[in-house]
């Protein structure tokens, strides 16, 4: 049975060129970068080169990049680190459709006396800029927004959000974990203050991420120990992971135009086949175009349950998701599905399909046939 992987938003396979770059640092170049002998110093230099690659990929300077263990830690670092460094303001604005890393971080800060405001989203997953503007005032500590939603693919108007917040001198954090690798990002043009990335979302290794911190933005460390990462993030560096992330970021920039073209072709073709084959299917999130992730399709069906369809497809060799990877074991409608007020009869079955650079257009007819088989069996 041929496998069909349609869950690239959950994780991507590591690019062979990335792995090749990492291997020496897992074998003969294993030395601790914080040591003072020559091999260690060479490894510290390699980390700095990787930092330059990540910085170059988003238009930052190397000193504005802090390496973390992944996107979740980077989000925690951005929100908690800024909150703890600036305790005089206690209001954090975010949305009801954020990744759980953001929602649970903000919820934790609420237990420390912070106030959270959760902006609503419309049926396509867009926040109301007027609602945001009405909540911005002198008590607002920061605004944290997901750039491209991991569950429904909607891409927020982050330029307008940042501009609106900066008019009132309010710091903005962008969760760009799903955006980088699909959307060209220039942090200087955006003028964003804090931004998170995760390596394994763009064909790099798992266990490594990065936090962009604009020059002048101050954070309190949330991991204490040694002087790593400019005294802001203690712990021996994930040497091979950082090297891999740097190479993966370098490849994104070199190949972004061709990857975008490939994603658009896959998305348009698959969507056309889905709506032709299944009369009751509904696309969730923004319509295809610039306001939706190019590799992302999220559908709801009626009369069946999402976790059952997920299981039937898995038996046929198709890997999809019923929501974000972090909530894959839940069988209740996700917080995002509920927040966009999807019709109640459609909430039990939402399936996310996400493509990658190794996805093939020629596989679509067979994948659609397998979808038909799975749904027919469930409705029998």
Largest CA-CA distance found in the chain, in angstroms, rounded: 68
The span from the CA of 176 to the CA of 211, in Å, is 10
**How many CA atoms within 13 Å lie on the side-chain side of 66?**
32
Provide the 10 A C-beta neighbour count for residue 194: 26
- Note if 326 is an active site residue: yes
Beta strand 282-283 pairing with 296-300: antiparallel
Catalytic residue among 129, 222, 288, 326: 326
The span from the CA of 324 to the CA of 19, in Å, is 26
Q: Is the dihedral of CA 252, 257, 260, 265 positive or negative?
A: negative
The span from the CA of 37 to the CA of 55, in Å, is 27
- Residues 239 and 279 sit within 8 Å (Cβ to Cβ): no
From the list 305, 346, 91, 296, the residue with the least C-alpha distance to 183 is 296
Residues with Cβ within 8 Å of residue 300, at least 6 apart in sequence: 281, 282, 284, 342, 346, 347, 349, 350, 351
Cα–Cα distance list, 45 to 26, 27, 182, 206, 235 (Å): 16, 17, 29, 22, 17
Cα–Cα distance list, 191 to 35, 146, 166 (Å): 36, 16, 9
The span from the CA of 122 to the CA of 341, in Å, is 8
Compute and round to an integer the Cα radius of gyration of the chain: 21
SS3 93: strand
Taking the alpha carbons at both ends of the chain, their separation in whole angstroms is 23
SS3 172: strand
Residues annotated catalytic, as ranges: 326
């Amino acid at each position: 049975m041929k496998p069909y992987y349609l869950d690239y938003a959950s994780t991507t396979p590591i690019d062979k060129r990335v792995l090749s770059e990492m291997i020496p640092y897992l074998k003969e170049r294993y030395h601790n970068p914080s040591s003072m002998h020559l091999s260690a110093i060479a490894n510290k230099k390699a980390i700095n080169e990787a930092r330059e690659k990540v910085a170059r990929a988003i238009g930052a300077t190397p000193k504005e990049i802090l390496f973390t263990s992944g996107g979740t830690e980077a989000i925690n670092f951005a929100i908690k680190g800024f909150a703890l460094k600036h305790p005089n303001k206690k209001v954090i604005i975010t949305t009801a459709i954020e990744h759980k890393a953001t929602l649970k971080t903000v919820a934790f800060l609420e237990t420390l006396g912070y106030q959270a405001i959760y902006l609503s989203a419309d049926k396509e997953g867009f926040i109301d800029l007027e609602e945001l503007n009405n909540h911005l005032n002198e008590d607002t500590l920061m605004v944290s927004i997901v750039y491209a939603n991991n569950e429904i693919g909607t891409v927020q108007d982050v330029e307008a959000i940042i501009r609106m917040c900066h008019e009132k001198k309010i710091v903005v954090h962008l969760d760009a974990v799903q955006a980088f690798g699909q959307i060209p990002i220039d942090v200087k043009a955006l003028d964003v203050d804090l931004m998170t990335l995760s390596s394994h979302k763009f064909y790099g290794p798992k266990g490594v991420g990065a936090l962009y911190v604009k020059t002048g933005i101050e954070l309190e460390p949330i991991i204490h120990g040694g002087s790593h990462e400019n005294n802001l993030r203690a712990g021996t560096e994930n040497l091979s992971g950082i090297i891999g992330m740097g190479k993966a970021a370098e490849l994104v920039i070199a190949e972004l135009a061709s990857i975008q073209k490939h994603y658009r072709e896959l998305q348009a073709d698959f969507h056309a086949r889905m709506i032709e084959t299944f009369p009751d299917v509904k696309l969730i999130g923004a319509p295809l175009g610039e306001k939706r992730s190019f590799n992302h399709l999220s559908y709801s069906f009626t009369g069946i349950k999402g976790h059952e369809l997920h299981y039937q497809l898995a038996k046929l060799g198709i890997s999809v998701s019923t929501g974000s990877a972090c909530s894959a074991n839940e069988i209740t409608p996700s917080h995002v599905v509920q927040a966009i007020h999807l019709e109640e009869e459609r909430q039990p079955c939402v399936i996310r399909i996400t493509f990658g650079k190794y996805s093939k257009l020629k596989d679509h007819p067979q994948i659609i046939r397998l979808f038909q088989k799975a749904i027919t069996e469930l409705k029998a």
